[in-house]
Structure 1
Amino acid sequence: MDLGHITARQRQILLLLMSRTDGMTAAEIAADVGVSVRTVHREMEEIEKDLQGTGVVLLKKSGTGIRLEEETPEGMSLLRRSLLAGKPADYSVEERKILMLCALLEADEPIKLFALAHSLKVTVPTVSNDLDELEPWMKRFNLKLIRRRGYGIEIDGAEGVRRRAIGRLAEEYLDYSDLVGDGYSDTREPVTARLLSMIDKPALLDVEKTLWDMNWDWTEDLSESTYTSTLIALSVSVNRIKRGRGMEAADITGYPPSSVSVEEARDFVGRLGETLEMNFRESEMIYIAQLFEAAKTMSEISELVHADVEMVEIAHRLIERVQGRTGIPFQEDRALRAGLVEHIGAALKRIREGTRIRNPLLSPIRKDYEELFGIVRRSVDELKLDLSIPDEEIGFLVMHFGASSERLNQPEHHLKAILVCSSGLSSSRLLGTRLNKEMPQIEVLGNVSWYEAARIPKEQYDLIISTIDLPLPKDRYVRLSPLLTADDKEALLQFIQSTSFEPASRRAAVSRIEEDRKAASFERLRMQAALMNEIVSLLDGFHVYHLDNPQHDLQGTLNEALAKVYEQGAVRDAEMVKERLLERERMGTQLIPDTTLALFHTRSRYITWPSLSLFRLAHRAPLEDGAQAGVILLMLAPKQLPKESLEVLSEISAMLLRSELIELMERGGEEEIRSYLAEELQHFFNHRP
């Protein structure tokens, strides 16, 4: 039995599983081995491959965890002897490939094949095979792998391309805890240590503080993932400059950044240069301006995610199937629908781009929600999305449904908590609902990003509950699992008992609850007024146009449609808005299935206020995938969008699943459509929780 390629950690995990015939959870293995749950899941993928043909299989079953089982009578004893006798390899296959990429991306000159093999403690043919498998990844970044006998191996690519590749590696393989936790010294994680050195972790928090202190509106509007990606890109740049790998003018490709972004970058590098005692060339400043432009664009491309008809329809069909199988009225939970629409859009993008998907909570989710996991898996398969949806994504969806099923009315709270969850909306909602259910003395104020948590004034909350390490002293927060296990509850109670909350807040607890109740009543009234104003304003500006558009010309059709909206003052730059609409259409047709109606929607800083316009076309407009639109519904909104406005637009997009409204859009009159929308939105307003 040849297990010479197995790593020391994998051998440790296998021997541990042999000693526990009843099985172990990934969290238990992680605690015993001294690594993260995420690392355990990665190792399991390799271990499953290593065990093929050994007479032993790895079983991962909900309820019992992970265990080994014999396929042949002596399989286990032979495996044990082989593990104890053999010398483990230093790296797993995945670790070896990432370290190989890191070495090539950082190298200034060709690396000899035998030198690379020696450093990774494998044979030259193994390195050659790994390079074959890595080449498609490199091509995604326009990097060319050069291999010549006697010359060596090197990556050919511009400096900006190398930086993007390093940033993507860091995004795919590092947790937020690795990036912003209070230090990393575990040499048993060579990949993590190498990547953290390549992004210059000591400088990352200085970069983050400088970026936040610029007080720009657009940085506060970025999603947590976009904000973190931008930080990684900036920190990689700092590290490359320190190592003498500066950006040259010839390396800068793509569209020139706007004058606003250039001025912002100039101010930023001025402050950062003082902090880090560095000088930034003009070319570096232009590159950073491009990073700022990319972040703003990513924020805008997220657009009206709740108005994406494809996502709304998928969420609707999924909820319908899960409700049919469980009997739980999930359709009544608007928060579930909103959460699923947002998650599904991001998930499909990850799958289509081939991004590595990890869910460190997959094993405990399967254990705690065994029946629901199976139901969601079957329901997703029935949607026939023409994509292979991995179990990791199913686990995230299960968390949304689990949170919804556990959402209950709670008694009065005594402590106010804010949540920080690295797995996104699904884990924060699950943890929030579990806290409400099992620890009603805690009121969850909401979910914030890791960088916001460090800046919220202490007087606004009593405790921070996080699923990751934070750049804060350990006595400022408690770290738990999103599943809130028994151990987590005990740790949370100990944290509460050992933490000295302000006496004033304890004495004022009763009066504070009463004040909060009164304030909440007024806030609810204010939100209702704002919501009704948004509804009236949107319907007031709704118009139906008959457009004599050019034949076989989508761009020309959009030009004419946007000219009408421009006349109304709702758009400041029709050309930029048109580009956003076309970009979204290129990602997949916006035609509603089995209709002639297409929904074109976007959010942009070039849009003045929310607007809804319907265009009946004289000539069918060509769309992606060979589709054609006879009617276009244009839904536009500014980048800075009140929550109430987003709710109204989201509700209208959900209505487009109804045949009555589609028929009206295709053939009805303006007042008829407006009346239908008004009646349905009135119903939405009256029954909104």
Structure 2
Amino acid sequence: MRKITARQRQMILLLLGVSEGITAAEIAAGTRVSVRTVHREMEDIELILQDFGLDLSRKSGKGLQLNGPEAGLEKLRLFLREEKLAEYSGEDRKVYELCALLEAEEPVKLYSLAHSLKVTVASISYDLDELEPWVRKFGLLLVRRRGYGVEITGSEIDKRRAISRLAAEHLDLSDLVGHNLQLDVNPIFKMLLSTVGKNNLMHVENTLWDMEWKWTTELPEIVYMELLLGLAVTTRRIEIDRGVDSAEEAGYTRLSNHRNIAGAEIYAQRLGETLGLKFPSVEIVYIAGLFDQVQDSFSSAGFAYGDIELMEIVYRLTESVVKRTGISFQSDRSLREGLLEHIDPALKRIREGTRIRNPLLGPIRRDYEYLFNIVRAAVEDLQMEPEIPDEEIGFLVMHFGASVERLNQLRRNVRAILVCASGLSSSRLLATRLTKEMPQIVILRNISWYEAARLPEDTYDLIISTIDLPLDKDRYIKISPLLSAEEIEKLLNYIQNTTLSDRKISSPGEPDKSVREEAALDRMKSHQSILNEMVSLLERFRFHPLDNSGMSLRTTLSEMLDMLSGSGVIGDADILLERLLERERMASQVIPDTRLALFHTRSSHIHMSSLTLYRLRQPVHLEGNTEVRVILLMLAPRKLSKESLEVLSEISALLLNSELVKLLEERTESEIRRYLSSELLRFFENKI
């Protein structure tokens, strides 16, 4: 018979106490943990139930329900009364062991860990065997010697990376920024939050926000949270005297070129005054490096929504789902953009071995079973390595589910802001579900939790969030992205009893005129920006034949950049050459099944967007010994508007069209420009 933890016992008792079923959110509230933790525990609980001839069913609108013979239920009740509970689950023990070892100044004895966790030394030894591969992923070593104890050795930088990953794998966003923390429930949870510097995180975030740097407001939420975690872990490590020993160990002096040193000094001074900490100069170099990393990752990532390889994945995935459903997903640009933005970081996490968490996987499989099976089959058609887990399939299903349910906008009279932790997939699904089920609500926009915390109250009527927020409870309502029948009723009650009573809301026949006028002006400005970008890019488009006989790839790219010198497009060509070569080393730039390659980059050394075509006298060899004879060079400034990015993304997506590829390989400059003009005009007309 399996050992169960106190938390699992509590959850099983809740399941036993209801006859109609109970939702994961209700279990989370009853046990004072996150919904993610509930779904994680349910995997072990289902195995426990099997020992009693019982199982769990998941019913739409009702949640989880215990099923089985009465004899099995009674046997389970007796077991819960008599069983001596395990203090911690195996997963909890490993988190505790990692936190203890990463914070320890000296080797820790196995019996000390065993005593703290109330298990045998053999159990600790077995846990460490399983943790060793995880530790190695960060360049660290798990050292064990008889009579010596156990310790994790390696650089301080690598230890900080490991701590940040540990937080990403075991904590929800709500755990880090929400108010509803119940630290007395689980000492392991409390220990992990302490290790990542949770007590300092909001001070870290407020100080960062008060710097009023434009680049921080442009960061995607996932990148922003990675930066905050890195900074919070840094403050915690300094507090316990685990600082970086030297600028060389920090590893960022060469990469940063001191670009963010001045800003890091001011930030560290302000944060130090708030926390009563002294930041040594080497830690300021490290913080500058963190700033550099997120700026560089954001400026290169997202350009044209990724590389051609990524666009091909999205194209093939969408086409496969279309064939199986008959739904014209390929015409939904919002779906394509959402998938492109989601899949890139998702694939990086999977390839790095990061554990994918999807707290909505159970409800998604229940409510979207047909679509889940189709998306799973479509992903298997791609034959990707490594294998894509069900948790990630669930996120993809949310994108396609949002596309299925996307409807025309209707007149509404309650202005709402959406905050979703799972990214674009959950926010778009929730937005379309709200559009369908509650047409009186207008979704103004999707924002991050840190923007919601600072949004002036007179700019909206209601904040709808899928996570706990650092706000008073009367400022927002928390619901699931899947929007069950119970949550629709809950939301209606909230609007009636809280929103409508506290704020002046536009009546159905008298919509908020100022809001509509402001939104209309913003849309006109956006359309104007898109048109200006398309026209200027097409006017600057040029075709050049290039005699590259005897030239290497480096020399060929250098000649291409030389042709742009004097045009006002680029500055330092040598830096751009290195960026282009680096991108080629990172991922293939070749259009599948062609001899055409797209080379692209963003940089502060590029002054305006540019599109240039080069046909080579002799082929050049790229990574993987692939030959190309035609290169399309796409350049853009590092700071790029959303509208400019949309236009470049559309051009990149068009490269999967065989008609454009044929034109680029064979036809004249004017013919190519006409084709691009026609396609971009169609793109613009669809946005109006």
Segments of 5+ residues of structure 2 without an aligned counterpart are none
Larger deviation, residues 102-111 vs 320-329: 320-329
- Give the Å deviation of 1:74: 8.6
- Give the Å deviation of 1:62: 6.7
Match of 1:300 in 2: 299
One-letter amino acid matched to 1:366:
R
- Give the Å deviation of 1:31: 4.2
Match of 2:482 in 1: 483
Match of 2:379 in 1: 380
Match of 1:253 in 2: 251
- Give the Å deviation of 1:209: 0.9
Match of 1:311 in 2: 310
Paired residues of 1:167 and 1:233 also in contact (CA < 8 A):
yes
Change (3 A) 1:646 1:113: same
**Residue in structure 1 matching 2:7, options 9, 18, 39:** 9
DSSP 3-state at the match of 2:512 = helix
2:270 paired with 1:271: yes
Match of 2:361 in 1: 362
Instruction: Give the whole-Å Cα distance in 1 for the aligned partners of 2:140 and 2:285.
Output: 22
Paired residues of 1:550 and 1:556 also in contact (CA < 8 A):
no
- Give the Å deviation of 1:523: 4.0
Paired residues of 1:621 and 1:629 also in contact (CA < 8 A):
yes
Change (3 A) 1:17 1:648: same
Change (3 A) 1:35 1:592: same
DSSP 3-state at the match of 2:632 = strand
Instruction: Give the whole-Å Cα distance in 2 for the aligned partners of 1:258 and 1:81.
Output: 67
Paired residues of 1:615 and 1:632 also in contact (CA < 8 A):
yes
- Give the Å deviation of 1:666: 1.8
Instruction: Give the whole-Å Cα distance in 2 for the aligned partners of 1:303 and 1:225.
Output: 13
2:243 paired with 1:242: no
One-letter amino acid matched to 1:396:
F
DSSP 3-state at the match of 1:631 = strand
- Give the Å deviation of 1:123: 1.9
Change (3 A) 1:611 1:120: same
Q: After superposition, what is the alpha-carbon deviation per residue over 1:53-81, rounded to whole angstroms, capped at 9, x for unaligned?
A: x47475666758656677x9997776665
TM-score normalised according to structure 2 size: 0.92
Paired residues of 1:323 and 1:330 also in contact (CA < 8 A):
yes
Match of 1:457 in 2: 456
Identity among equivalent pairs (%): 54
Larger deviation, residues 565-574 vs 545-554: 545-554
Change (3 A) 1:623 1:7: farther
Instruction: Give the whole-Å Cα distance in 1 for the aligned partners of 2:604 and 2:645.
Output: 15
Aligned pairs, number: 685
- Give the Å deviation of 1:265: 0.6
**Residue in structure 2 matching 1:127, options 124, 127, 147:** 124
- Give the Å deviation of 1:519: 4.5
- Give the Å deviation of 1:620: 2.8
Match of 1:193 in 2: 190
Paired residues of 1:230 and 1:295 also in contact (CA < 8 A):
yes
- Give the Å deviation of 1:647: 1.9
Instruction: Give the whole-Å Cα distance in 2 for the aligned partners of 1:184 and 1:25.
Output: 20
**Residue in structure 1 matching 2:161, options 156, 161, 164:** 164
Paired residues of 1:56 and 1:68 also in contact (CA < 8 A):
no
Instruction: Give the whole-Å Cα distance in 2 for the aligned partners of 1:167 and 1:393.
Output: 21
Match of 1:94 in 2: 91
Paired residues of 1:572 and 1:606 also in contact (CA < 8 A):
yes
Paired residues of 1:571 and 1:608 also in contact (CA < 8 A):
yes
One-letter amino acid matched to 2:158:
V
- Give the Å deviation of 1:602: 2.5
One-letter amino acid matched to 1:184:
L
One-letter amino acid matched to 1:46:
D
**Residue in structure 2 matching 1:46, options 39, 44, 47:** 44
Instruction: Give the whole-Å Cα distance in 2 for the aligned partners of 1:189 and 1:504.
Output: 39
Instruction: Give the whole-Å Cα distance in 2 for the aligned partners of 1:201 and 1:302.
Output: 28
Paired residues of 1:25 and 1:364 also in contact (CA < 8 A):
no
**Residue in structure 1 matching 2:28, options 27, 30, 43:** 30
One-letter amino acid matched to 1:9:
R
Match of 2:586 in 1: 587
Instruction: Give the whole-Å Cα distance in 1 for the aligned partners of 2:568 and 2:54.
Output: 66
- Give the Å deviation of 1:215: 1.2
- Give the Å deviation of 1:83: 4.9
One-letter amino acid matched to 1:11:
R
One-letter amino acid matched to 2:109:
K
Q: After superposition, what is the alpha-carbon deviation per residue over 1:177-234, rounded to whole angstroms, capped at 9, x for unaligned?
A: 1111125234323333112112222221111111111111211111111111111111
Paired residues of 1:46 and 1:92 also in contact (CA < 8 A):
no
Change (3 A) 1:492 1:271: same
DSSP 3-state at the match of 1:411 = coil
Q: After superposition, what is the alpha-carbon deviation per residue over 1:345-380, rounded to whole angstroms, capped at 9, x for unaligned?
A: 222222111111111111112222222222222222
Q: Give the RMSD, CA atoms, in angstroms.
A: 2.8
One-letter amino acid matched to 2:5:
T
Larger deviation, residues 8-17 vs 383-392: 8-17
Change (3 A) 1:82 1:583: farther
Match of 2:212 in 1: 215
Segments of 5+ residues of structure 1 without an aligned counterpart are none
Instruction: Give the whole-Å Cα distance in 2 for the aligned partners of 1:367 and 1:613.
Output: 49
Change (3 A) 1:136 1:301: farther
Instruction: Give the whole-Å Cα distance in 1 for the aligned partners of 2:429 and 2:309.
Output: 25
Instruction: Give the whole-Å Cα distance in 2 for the aligned partners of 1:32 and 1:519.
Output: 44
Instruction: Give the whole-Å Cα distance in 1 for the aligned partners of 2:508 and 2:581.
Output: 54
Match of 1:323 in 2: 322
2:442 paired with 1:447: no
2:138 paired with 1:136: no
- Give the Å deviation of 1:43: 1.4
